[in-house]
Amino acid sequence: MSSNIWLLGSSCFLAYTACYAGRSILSAIMPQIILDSNYTRSELGAMGSAFFLAYGIGQILNGIIGDRIKAKYMVPVGLFFASVILMVFPSLTNVAAGIFLWGLCGVFLSMLWGPLSKVIAENTSVKVGTLLLTALNVASILGTTSAYLIATYSSSKEQWKLSFYVVGVILVLTAVIWYLMLSYLEKRNALKVVHLKKAEGFNKELLNVLLNNAIIPMLVVSMINGIIRNAVTFWIPTYITEELGFSPTLSAGISGILPFVNLVGTFIGLYILNRLGENEFKTIAILFATSLFMFLSIGIISAKHVVFIIGMLFIACATMSSASNIIFSTYCLKFKETGRISAVNGLINFSSYAASAGASVLFSKIITKYNWNLTVLVWAMLSLVGVAFSLIAQKQFNRQRPKVFESNQM
């Protein structure tokens, strides 16, 4: 790859790492917040839901905007205003204000994915684009890890507010670096843009391409994947603390291992994808089936076997991280030539996070009213639905394969 591509990829990697540090910090530090503040699990769950819902809606709106405004501007604006919210959030005492601001943080952080995927897709080949988009999945893992490490340190000092301040500073610095790097690439004429055709929005041609590539069942797949990958992960530190009896500091430390497990899972998923002849639908079905087996096993094993339970929980989440990577680094590239890849990415991401928002509220109610065992059983049933719709997408794509081939030749 050329030096320009390396610089672009590095800039995108850094920006997405910061994004995930920002969006993961509330989950990472939540057990300590419950101990040291007046916030309840339900209230913090509502904040998580507000974030997911706002992030999902923002994916659609910012995805469409991202096809018209340069990533050079959108990315640093999103990072900067998210950092402001992170700095203000610890001083809040009103629950409604907390829910509103954390949701607003989701809107600003949603300004990254669409523009990032667009600038990569338009300036690289399919092979390099897939590699860089996969690297963004690694960036999300690194960002999550950073959040857990910061939360672990803050919990050890019993200063949960510190974690928000540290991440806020990281976001501001990243915004400045991004703007400088993209300005440099522009001066070198190293960036190009695939312009929209006169027809705006989702015209008939784009709709046909979407339908021919099984977009409807894949939206359901994305929703289920988002619930397990986001809403379930959001509750993992609290699960480890409340169900397995670990301290908030140890819980944050253990949860910090999860991103590395997700990274391994991502590459295992890519290996399976390669072995199946780049068939993303079958690969995703296998990953959902694995998470189904893990969740069912957790319900059977005695709570005394904490190492096995944590291991299975982490494997289940790793499969969903891998499935998400395949959705966005392989499946979404089918729409590269439409000139609306940012908007399409936004649509798929919206389905994922809108479902996550509702699920986070549901999980908090199940946990409070019933128990964690029922919650894990619900996670298993969702995985089963994911298997079913992945296979439905495969069947629909097979029926439309000649049309897909023609669309790819346009």
At 383-404, the pLDDT tens digits run 999 999 999 999 988 876 644 4
> What pLDDT is recorded for position 222?
92
pTM: 0.70
How far is the C-alpha of 201 from the C-alpha of 55, rounded, in Å?
A: 20
> What pLDDT is recorded for position 181?
94
Name the pLDDT band for 282 (thresholds 50, 70, 90).
very high
Tokens of 259: 């991103």
pLDDT digits (tens, 9 = 90+) for 295-338: 999 878 766 678 888 888 889 989 998 998 888 878 877 776 66
Mean pLDDT of 278-307: 88
How far is the C-alpha of 256 from the C-alpha of 147, rounded, in Å?
A: 8
The alpha carbon dihedral of 246, 248, 250, 253 has a sign of positive
**pLDDT(128) > 70:** yes
For residues 273 and 280, the answer to whether their CB atoms sit within 8 Å is yes
Cα→Cα distances 26→20, 31, 189, 355, Å = 11, 9, 40, 19
For residues 26 and 47, the answer to whether their CB atoms sit within 8 Å is yes
Tokens of 409: 């030749």
> What pLDDT is recorded for position 405?
42
How far is the C-alpha of 109 from the C-alpha of 55, rounded, in Å?
A: 7
DSSP state of 370: S
- What CATH number does the domain containing 24 carry? 1.20.1250.20
> What pLDDT is recorded for position 109?
95
Mean pLDDT of 207-228: 85
Task: Select, from the ranges 59-68, 156-165, 169-178, 205-214, the one with the highest average predicted confidence (pLDDT).
Answer: 169-178
Mean pLDDT of 49-72: 83
User: Which domain range does residue 228 map to?
Assistant: 3-408
The number of folded domains in the chain is 1
Cα→Cα distances 103→26, 100, 236, 302, 316, Å = 12, 5, 20, 37, 27
**pLDDT(260) > 50:** yes
More confident residue, 57 or 357: 57
**pLDDT(211) > 60:** yes
More confident residue, 203 or 85: 85
